[in-house]
Amino acid sequence: MLIGSRKIEPEEGQFINKYGIKTLSIEEIKYDSAKTIRKLRNFIDSKEIYISFDIDVFDPNIVKATYYREENGLNEDEVLRFLDIILKKKENLRGFDLVEVNLDFPKQDVEETIKTARKVLGKFIS
């Protein structure tokens, strides 16, 4: 399941369709969070879970040091709420990675992004 998609390139869309990957777009999340939470819970129920967390799901005013800054991302509360839902099935979690932190930005932007990334990682090690 791809959560928080905003801009999907044509090649990505083909891959998503070919492999039947479920998606929860930013628009869906912002429009009806209760419905998206139900969809997420139904998806993770009794499945093995691997999370590849792309830091650019956050709005660019929160995370600046990333490769693809797209407007209208998720805020910290939204992200942490989704992680809490997923981690209620922690026994099904098989792996995790965090990607897209770009160290080629000004030091302050990198430090703020890493601070946010630590909050995300902290959910998995607590």
Q: Write out the chain's pLDDT in tens, 126 residues.
A: 888 888 888 998 999 999 988 888 888 888 888 898 898 888 888 778 888 889 999 999 999 999 888 888 999 998 998 899 888 888 888 888 999 999 999 999 999 999 999 999 998 887
Helix (H, G, I), strand (E, B) or coil at 42: helix
- For residue 98, list its beta bridge partners: 53
Q: What global pTM score does this model have?
A: 0.83
Q: Which residue has tokens 């967390």?
A: 53
Dist. CA 47–CA 9, nearest whole Å: 28
Query: Strand 49-54 to strand 93-99: parallel, antiparallel, or no bridges (unpaired)?
Result: parallel
Which domains, from first to last, does the chain contain? 2-125 (3.40.800.10)
Dist. CA 103–CA 114, nearest whole Å: 9
Dist. CA 97–CA 114, nearest whole Å: 14
